[in-house]
Amino acid sequence: MPVTDVRHDPDTLTLTITAEFAAPVERIWQVYADPRQLEKVWGPPTYPATVVDHDLRPGGRVTYFMTGPQGDKHAGYWQITTVDEPRGFSFDDGFADLDFNPDPVLPVSRNVYAFTEREGGTRATYVSTFESAEGLQKVLDMGVVEGATSAINQIDDLVA
C-alpha cells in the first residue's frame, strides 16, 4: 500500500496525505506534466477526467472536466501558483462552467504537492486546504456520488 501517512486537520480543513511510490521523482512528475497521464489518475473510473488545457507553469492553468455515469459534466481548473520541477508544484483548485470560466461563488482549495527522493523511490506529500466545508462538500459531490454511495454501503455492512 503506497499511502504511508494521513493527517486530518478539521480546524483548518486540511488533508495531508503521504505516499511512497516505487519510481523516481522524475517519473512521478511526469504523471502531472503529461495531461494524458494526469487524466488517468485524477478521476475515479465512474467519473473519468478529461484534461483540456495544460500549462504547468507559474500563472498557468490546467482545465479539466469529469464525466458522470449519466453523461453529466463537471468542470474544474487548477490555477498554478508555484512550480519547482520535478520536486513539486502548488495550485488553487476551483470549479468552472463548461467553458472553463472560474466559478466565483464556489470556494477553492489550496494545494501543495511535493516529491522527494527516498531510497530510490519517491515520497509524495499532498496537502489540500479548503476554504469552507461547503467547498469540500462540493468537491465530494462532484465525482464522488460514489463516495456517498460507499458511505451508505459502509452503513449497509454495519447493519447487515
Partner 1 sequence: MTEADEDRADALFHALADRTRRDIMRRVLAGEHSVSTLAARYDMSFAAVQKHVAVLEKAGLLTKRRSGREQLASGDVQAVRSVASLLTDLEQVWRGRIARIDDLIALDTTQQANTDQEG
Q: Which residues bind partner 1 (CB under 8 A)?
A: 2-3, 6, 8, 10, 13, 15, 17, 19, 21-23, 27-28, 31, 37, 40-42, 44, 124, 126, 128, 133, 136-137, 139-141, 143-145, 147-152, 155-156, 159
Q: Minimum Å distance from CB 67 to partner 1?
A: 15
CB count in 10 Å sphere of residue 47: 19
Report, in Å, the least distance between residue 30 CB and partner 1.
9
Closest to partner 1 by CB, 84 vs 133, is 133
Q: What span, in angstroms and rounded, lies between the C-alpha atoms of 77 and 14?
A: 19
Alpha-carbon separation of residue 86 from 20, 47, 51, 92, 134 (angstroms)? 16, 28, 20, 19, 33
Comparing CB distances to partner 1, the nearer of 58 and 85 is 85
Question: Of the two residues 13 and 112, which places its CB atom closer to partner 1 in the complex?
Answer: 13
Q: Indicate the residue among 101 and 156 with the shorter CB distance to partner 1.
A: 156
Query: C-beta of 21: minimal distance to partner 1 in Å?
Result: 6
Do residues 56 and 32 make contact, with C-beta atoms less than 8 angstroms apart?
yes
- Provide the minimum distance between the beta carbon of 41 and partner 1 in the complex, in angstroms, as a whole number: 4
Give dist(CA 159, CA 141) in Å, integer: 24
Q: In whole angstroms, how close is the CB of 118 to partner 1 at the nearest point?
A: 15
Q: What are phi and psi of 4, to 5 degrees?
A: -110, -20
Q: Report the 10 Å Cβ neighbour count for 56.
A: 19
> Would you say 16 or 59 has its CB closer to partner 1?
16
HEC per residue, 74-94: EEEEEEEEEEECCCEEEEEEE
